[in-house]
Chains A and B, each alone.
Chain A
Amino acid sequence: EPEVTQTPSHQVTQMGQEVILRCVPISNHLYFYWYRQILGQKVEFLVSFYNNEISEKSEIFDDQFSVERPDGSNFTLKIRSTKLEDSAMYFCASSENRGSNQPQHFGDGTRLSIL
């Protein structure tokens, strides 16, 4: 069964450094998403992406964050100048189409630890 893959599974970074989290969505999916889950808390939406543009973002997704689809398969989340509170599990997801009936399929996540 096709799946969303994320690399790395665990990233440890010094505060203030930039980090890039990578995702390969399911190949025929057109919509891509990033979520984060701070330890012990809810999963929170960060951003959605379609047709090489951000289609929706949350208030968490400020100027520190950016997303990119650098080629036909990868989808990346860049966090500039990381802070301690950026430590979380980051999930990439994709869906075939838009719409409230479309399940979003998640990757296994990248655990980001900021020291």
Chain B
Amino acid sequence: AQKITQTQPGMFVQEKEAVTLDCTYDTSDPSYGLFWYKQPSSGEMIFLIYQGSYDQQNATEGRYSLNFQKARKSANLVISASQLGDSAMYFCAMREGGTDKLIFGTGTRLQVFP
């Protein structure tokens, strides 16, 4: 079974609108972290936001927020007030307690249009 599932291969959003990128995960470990990374066309991986499994509140970081629904095992990324520079691939990743590795999803390509 996939540990991280991103069901949207591509998304379009108009500039200044909000967009939600979906991510579901599968783990039996009670301690885990969820991360979102942005990969522009130039290729680098940029850390955006983190949510811990024990966190009571949804994480926020500027225009990024994470809609964490633990019972549904989902950790959707919400980007508010989209900008043209937000066009990129977005990867959801999970790190389980006791392991070093990040497990990545297949990514969602977001395109922001004027």
| Given contacts A100-B52, A100-B96, A45 and B45 within 8 Å (CB-CB) | no
Total contacting residues, chain A, CB less than 8 A: 28
CB pair A106 B37 closer than 8 Å:
yes
CB pair B45 A100 closer than 8 Å:
no
CB pair B32 A45 closer than 8 Å:
no
Whole-angstrom distance between the Cβ of B91 and the nearest chain A Cβ = 7
Distance of A35 Cα from B101 Cα, bound (Å): 9
Is residue B53 contacting chain A, with contact meaning CB distance below 8 A?
yes
Is residue A56 contacting chain B, with contact meaning CB distance below 8 A?
yes
| Given contacts A100-B33, A103-B50, A55 and B100 within 8 Å (CB-CB) | yes
* B1-52 CB contacts (< 8 Å) to partner A: 31-33, 35, 37, 42-47, 50, 52
Total contacting residues, chain B, CB less than 8 A: 28
Is residue B102 contacting chain A, with contact meaning CB distance below 8 A?
yes
Q: What residues of chain B lie closer than 8 Å to A84, measured between beta carbons?
A: none
Whole-angstrom distance between the Cβ of B64 and the nearest chain A Cβ = 13
Give me the interface of B with A, judged by CB distance under 8 Å. 31-33, 35, 37, 42-47, 50, 52-53, 91, 93, 95-97, 99-107
> What 10 pairs between A and B have smallest CB-CB spacing?
A48-B100, A45-B101, A106-B45, A100-B33, A108-B44, A43-B104, A56-B100, A100-B97, A100-B95, A103-B47
Give me the interface of A with B, judged by CB distance under 8 Å. 31, 33, 35, 41-45, 48, 55-56, 58, 89, 91, 93, 98-109, 111
Pairs A–B under 8 Å by Cβ, sample size 10:
A31-B100, A43-B45, A48-B101, A58-B101, A99-B97, A100-B31, A100-B97, A101-B33, A101-B50, A103-B47
